[in-house]
Amino acid sequence: MPMNADDIIRLIKESLPDAKVDLKDLRGDGDHFQAHVESSAFAGKSRVQQHQMVYAALQGRVGGVLHALALTTAAPNT
């Protein structure tokens, strides 16, 4: 069963309340998304750490219910 885009955004914002999330369903199937997440929580963190924070917010759904996520992250003004 595919994951709803609103649920993805909600989970990210629950963990990163100030996050700006730009989410696109790449195939229209609810399984393949592209996301850009910007949060002040990423300041001073490596890209790997930033991505780990987003994956943690999604609570193990990436690779399962959420089949594929092309992810970019940034701290504000970077």
CATH of the domain at 36: 3.30.300.90
Pairing of strands 32-38, 20-25: antiparallel
- Plot region of 44 (φ>0 → left; ψ -120 to 50 → alpha; else → beta): left
Q: How far apart are CA 27 and CA 74, in angstroms?
A: 24
Q: How far is CA 65 from the centre of its chain?
A: 14
78, pLDDT greater than 60: no
pLDDT tens digit sequence for 16-26 = 999 999 999 99
- What mean pLDDT comes out for the span 65-70? 80
**What residues make up the domain containing 53?**
5-74
Name the domain count of the chain. 1
pLDDT of residue 64: 72
- What mean pLDDT comes out for the span 28-50? 93
- What mean pLDDT comes out for the span 51-71? 85
Q: How confident is the model at residue 1 (pLDDT cuts 50, 70, 90)?
A: low
